[in-house]
Amino acid sequence: MTDTPTAPPSQPQEVRIAHSPDSDDAFMFYALTQGLLDVSGLSISHVLQDIESLNQAAFEGRYEITALSFHGYAHLASRYQIMPSGASFGDGYGPLVVSRETLTREDLAGKTIAIPGQLTTAHLALRLWQPEVLTTIVPFDRILDVVASGEASAGVVIHEGQLTFQEQGLQAVVDLGAWWKGDTGLPLPLGCNGIKRELPEDIKRRLCRLLTESIEYGLDHRSEALGYAIRYARGLEDDLARSDKFVGMYVNEWTRSYGEAGKKAVQLLLDRGFESGLLPQHITAEFIEA
C-alpha cells in the first residue's frame, strides 16, 4: 500500500502595504499592521514613504496596497482600483498655501510656489485655484523652511505643517480645501488607498474588509490608536491635543466610507482636472466593492 501524496501547504499571499509616515495614516493602519486583526493566510509587510515616492512606485505596481493621491490615481487607474475605505478628505479645510507676506491669488501668478510633489492632490488643487503659478518640488517637511527663508514666494503645506506654519512667522494665503468646498459644496478628496488590479478578486475583497475593520478599530479605540500614531506626528510628538486634532481632520466618517457625496467629489475633481488640461485623459473613478 502506498501513501497518498499530500499537497504542499499553500504559501501565504504576500501583501505589501505602503503609506505615508504620517500620524493619520499610522492611525488608520494601526490594527492591520500591529497584529490586532485576523490576517491568516496573508503575509503582510509595512512600507513607509512620502506620498510622492508612493505615487512614483505605483507606476511600477510595486505594492499590493498603496496610499495614492487622487492626482496620482488619475495616472494609475490602469494598475490600481480604489478601496472602499481609507480616503482622506478635507471637509472645508485642506492643503494651505502659505507665504511670508500678504498675497492674493492674482499676486501669485508667475510666482514660484513650493509643492510637495508633481502628482500630489495639493499640486492639482493649487493649479485649479491659480493655473498661472510656477512650481518647484520640495520635500513636504521642508516647505515651511523654504518659504520662511525666501527661496520660494509661497508653499503648499500638507500634513502637520497645516497646524504649525504660524510658528515660523508665515501666514495663510488660501486654504484650498475651504476654497473647493465654497466652490463645489463638497469635501476636497486628497488621497485614497489603491489596490492592485491583478490580485485575485477574493483577496481584494478580503483586504478591503480588513482595511475597513482597521479604521473602525482605530476610531473605536481612539486613545490606543493615537498612542501608536503620535510617534509619526512630526513636530507634534509632545502635543497630544494637536496630534488628536490632526488625526481627526483626516481620519473620520469620510474615511470609513466615501458615501455618494464622497464619490461625487472624487469624480468632480478628476473631471475638473481633465477639463482644465491638468490630467492627460478623462478618468472614471473605479471603487472596489468589498
Amino acid 97 reads: V
Rounded Cα gap, residues 13 and 139, in angstroms:
34
148: number of Cβ within 10 Å: 17
Rounded Cα gap, residues 232 and 112, in angstroms:
30
Rounded Cα gap, residues 46 and 57, in angstroms:
15
- Which among 46, 159, 221, 282 is annotated as catalytic? 159
DSSP 231: G
Per DSSP bridges, beta strands 65-69 and 88-90 are: unpaired
Per the annotation, the verdict on 71 as an active-site residue is no
Contact criterion met (CB below 8 Å) for 112 and 162: no
* Residue showing cell 508667475: 110
202: number of Cβ within 10 Å: 9
For the record, the C-alpha cell of 242 comes out as 494637536
**Catalytic residue IDs:** 159
